[in-house]
Structure 1
Amino acid sequence: DLTFSFTNIIHQMNKCPITFLYGENGMFDRKKLFSHADYIFYVIKELSNSSNATFKRATYKDPSEFVIEGMNIRNIVIGWTTQKYDLGSTHDNGIPATVTEPLVTIDIVWLVPKAEQISNMNAFVKVFNYNVWIAVGVTLICTWLTWFLIISWKGKFTFDKLGLAFINVWSLTICGCIAQFPRSFALRITLLSYLIYVIHIQCALTSNMATILTTPRYDFQISNLEELAESGLPIYIIKSLQETQFNLNDTNHKLYTQLQKQLRPVSLSKLQKAFSRKIDVHQIRDNSMTGAYTIRLALLPDHFFAPTLNSLLNKIEESGIAVKMKNDFENEYFPKNVSKEENDEELTLPHLAFIFIFLGLGLSIACVVFCLEHVVHKFL
Structure 2
Amino acid sequence: MLFIIHFIAVGNMKTVFTLAVFALVETLSRERTHQRHLALCITTIARRHFDLDRTLLVSSSGSGDGLLDIVMENLQNIELWPLRVSRTDSVTLAPYEKHHDKIGSYVILTGGPEDIEKQVDKITDSVLWGDEARFLVVVTKCEAIPHLLALNLLRELWDNTKALNVLVAVYENSVLHLYTSFPYQSDKSCEIITDAVLLSKWDTQSDTKLGNNGTLFPDKYPRHFHGCRIDISIPHSKIAEKTYISETAKRLNITVNYISGRPNDMSLYDRIRSSISEVLLGSSEITVGGIPLIKDIADILDPSFSYHETKYTWYVPCARPLPRLYSISRIFSASVWAVVVVVIFAVSVIIWCLANRSLETSTYTSISNDLYNVWAIAMGVCVTEMPRTCPLRLIIFSWMCYCFAINAVFQTFFTSYLVDPGYDKQIRTLEELIDSGLKFGFRPEFDVYYQNSNYEIHKELMSRKEHCDPPSFCVQRIIDTRGYATLAESYSIENYLNTVNNSNYVCTMNDLEAYPVKIVAYFSKGSIFLRAFNKALVSSVEAGLATKAVKKKVSSTVSNAVDNFFVFTVSHLSIAFYLLLLGHSVSIVSFFFEVIYKKRAES
What TM bracket, shorter-length normalisation?
0.7 to 0.9
Provide the residue aligned with 1:22 in structure 2.
Answer: 234
Q: After alignment, is 49-58 or 342-351 more displaced?
A: 342-351
* Counterpart contact for 1:15–1:53, Cα < 8 Å: yes
Instruction: Label 1:106 to 1:4 Cα distance change in 2 as closer, same or farther (>3 A).
Output: closer
Instruction: Label 1:230 to 1:186 Cα distance change in 2 as closer, same or farther (>3 A).
Output: farther
Provide the residue aligned with 2:526 in structure 1.
Answer: 302
Q: Equivalent of 1:78, from 287, 312, 317?
A: 287
**Are 1:283 and 2:507 an aligned pair?**
yes
**Aligned partner of residue 55 in structure 1, secondary structure:** strand
Q: After alignment, is 59-68 or 196-205 more displaced?
A: 59-68
Instruction: Label 1:99 to 1:81 Cα distance change in 2 as closer, same or farther (>3 A).
Output: farther
Provide the residue aligned with 1:34 in structure 2.
Answer: none
Distance 1:207 1:270 in 2: 43
**Are 1:189 and 2:398 an aligned pair?**
no
Tell me by how many angstroms 1:283 deviates: 0.5
Tell me by how many angstroms 1:354 deviates: 1.7
Q: Equivalent of 2:537, from 310, 313, 316?
A: 313
Provide the residue aligned with 2:250 in structure 1.
Answer: 49
* Counterpart contact for 2:314–2:510, Cα < 8 Å: yes
Q: Equivalent of 1:163, from 368, 372, 375?
A: 368
Q: After alignment, is 339-348 or 367-376 more displaced?
A: 339-348
RMSD: 3.7
Provide the residue aligned with 2:131 in structure 1.
Answer: 4
**Are 1:340 and 2:340 an aligned pair?**
no
Q: After alignment, is 3-12 or 365-374 more displaced?
A: 3-12
Provide the residue aligned with 2:6 in structure 1.
Answer: none
Tell me by how many angstroms 1:173 deviates: 0.1
Distance 2:253 2:354 in 1: 99
Provide the residue aligned with 1:267 in structure 2.
Answer: 469
Provide the residue aligned with 2:409 in structure 1.
Answer: 204
* Counterpart contact for 2:331–2:410, Cα < 8 Å: yes
Tell me by how many angstroms 1:162 deviates: 2.3
Provide the residue aligned with 2:89 in structure 1.
Answer: none
1:219 maps to a residue whose letter is D
Distance 2:589 2:224 in 1: 92
Distance 1:356 1:209 in 2: 16
Per-residue deviation, residues 68-126 of structure 1 (Å, max 9, x unmatched): 456659x632335745446xxx427xx82112343333344433344444444223333
* Counterpart contact for 1:82–1:293, Cα < 8 Å: no
Tell me by how many angstroms 1:358 deviates: 1.6
What percentage of aligned pairs have identical amino acids? 15
1:250 maps to a residue whose letter is S
Provide the residue aligned with 2:424 in structure 1.
Answer: 219
2:563 maps to a residue whose letter is K
Q: After alignment, is 14-23 or 215-224 more displaced?
A: 215-224
Per-residue deviation, residues 143-180 of structure 1 (Å, max 9, x unmatched): 3343344334569xxx9632222112101100243222
Provide the residue aligned with 1:91 in structure 2.
Answer: 297
* Counterpart contact for 1:112–1:222, Cα < 8 Å: yes
Paired residue total = 355
Q: After alignment, is 48-57 or 264-273 more displaced?
A: 264-273
**Aligned partner of residue 292 in structure 1, secondary structure:** strand
Provide the residue aligned with 2:144 in structure 1.
Answer: none
Tell me by how many angstroms 1:298 deviates: 0.9
Q: Equivalent of 1:251, from 440, 454, 458?
A: 454
Structure 2: 5+ residue stretches without partners: 1-56, 58-105, 107-129, 133-163, 165-218, 263-269, 483-504
Tell me by how many angstroms 1:274 deviates: 5.8
Distance 2:470 2:253 in 1: 37
* Counterpart contact for 2:428–2:510, Cα < 8 Å: no
**Aligned partner of residue 234 in structure 2, secondary structure:** strand
TM-score (norm 1): 0.76
* Counterpart contact for 1:98–1:301, Cα < 8 Å: yes
Distance 1:260 1:290 in 2: 17
Provide the residue aligned with 2:554 in structure 1.
Answer: 330
* Counterpart contact for 1:18–1:78, Cα < 8 Å: no
**Aligned partner of residue 549 in structure 2, secondary structure:** helix
2:453 maps to a residue whose letter is D
Instruction: Label 1:64 to 1:212 Cα distance change in 2 as closer, same or farther (>3 A).
Output: closer
**Aligned partner of residue 297 in structure 1, secondary structure:** strand
Instruction: Label 1:82 to 1:289 Cα distance change in 2 as closer, same or farther (>3 A).
Output: farther
Q: After alignment, is 295-304 or 143-152 more displaced?
A: 143-152
* Counterpart contact for 1:171–1:178, Cα < 8 Å: yes
Distance 2:469 2:522 in 1: 25
Distance 1:349 1:235 in 2: 35
Distance 1:304 1:261 in 2: 46
Instruction: Label 1:299 to 1:113 Cα distance change in 2 as closer, same or farther (>3 A).
Output: same
Structure number with higher relative contact order (C-alpha < 8 Å, ≥ 6 residues apart): 1
Distance 2:222 2:531 in 1: 8
Provide the residue aligned with 1:370 in structure 2.
Answer: 594
Instruction: Label 1:263 to 1:278 Cα distance change in 2 as closer, same or farther (>3 A).
Output: closer
Instruction: Label 1:349 to 1:217 Cα distance change in 2 as closer, same or farther (>3 A).
Output: closer
Tell me by how many angstroms 1:128 deviates: 3.5
1:192 maps to a residue whose letter is F
**Are 1:103 and 2:307 an aligned pair?**
yes
